Amino acid sequence: MAHESILVVEDESDIQELLRFNLAKDGYRVQCTDSGEEALRLARSSPPDLVLLDLMLPGMDGLEVCRKLKSDSRTQHIPILMLTAKGEETDIVTGLELGADDYMTKPFSPRVLTARIRTVLRRAATEPFDEQSPVKVHDLAIHPGRHEVLVSDVPVCLTRTEFRVLQYLASRPGWVFTRYQIADAIHDGDAMVTDRSIDVQIVGLRKKLGEAGRYIETVRGVGYRFKESR
């Protein structure tokens, strides 16, 4: 069963209910809205794992929603799958150029749609993260170039693997990663990293981070995430 959250932005009530039913049946956590403005508020306050975005919306249309999501540092990492009526080729091209990850035309097969959603989510989860960009969240700062971690400006000594696990989780606060995903992301060919060894790294990280260790949250039955800033 899936565990990811999906924000459905669709103004046609029957299509919205169809999407909600089929996605929930596949195990996704689903939130729906018929407004582009509300979609932005929801995505910023509680970032979903994917946005399923209709292009034809009242008020702010789907392309503008896409543009705003991808230009906001809080939401630019969220994958977007567009839903569009046939014949809107220009809108499809524009949406993809704005950063949307995929599209489906209406009418659509629910089974094909869920397959495309799984593909987009899998691709997003396995994208390499930027290992050189500093990360600052809560009272924790990570400086890859210096291999330095500071908690409230106090240095914390981590092993290379612990550092990479922390960097990976903290680079996407709120995102839930399985042990396999973490292991794949930090593996660089120098040492074998198994999914179960990730548990050992997490235990070590929490101990060394002290009070800041609470930012690394266990999601039962799924994996781990780094707590979002509020």
Instruction: Tell me: pLDDT of 203 over 90.
Output: yes
CATH of the domain spanning 5-126, picked from 3.60.150.10, 2.60.40.10, 3.90.1150.10, 3.40.50.2300: 3.40.50.2300
Task: Note the helical H segments in the chain.
Answer: 13-25, 36-45, 62-70, 89-98, 110-126, 160-170, 179-186, 195-209
Domain ranges of the chain: 5-126, 135-226
Helix (H) or strand (E) holding 219: strand 216-219
Q: Which of 160, 130, 152, 144 is nearest to 215 (CA)?
A: 152
Q: Is the pTM of this model over 0.75?
A: no
* CA–CA distance, 161 with 147 (Å, rounded to integer): 11
| 223/9 Cα distance (integer angstroms) | 28
Structure tokens at 29: 């956590």
Query: With contact defined as beta carbons under 8 Å apart, do 9 and 80 qualify?
Result: no
Q: Which fold has domain 135-226?
A: Arc Repressor Mutant, subunit A (1.10.10)
Least confident of 49-58, 63-72, 169-178, 213-222: 169-178
Mean per-residue pLDDT over the chain, rounded? 86
Same CATH topology for 5-126 and 135-226: the answer is no
Residue 4 reports pLDDT greater than 60: yes
What does the pLDDT look like over 139-150, one tens digit per residue? 999 998 888 999
Q: Which amino acid is at 201?
A: Q
pLDDT in tens, 54-63: 999 999 999 9
Residue 130 has pLDDT above 60, yes or no: no
Residue 206 has pLDDT above 50, yes or no: yes
CB distance 50 to 4 below 8 Å: yes
pLDDT-based confidence at 41, cuts 50/70/90?
very high
Stretch 27-52: mean pLDDT, rounded?
A: 94
Q: Show the tokens assigned to 125.
A: 């989860």
Residue 129 near residue 106 (C-beta atoms within 8 A) = no
Confidence of residue 91 (pLDDT cuts 50, 70, 90): confident
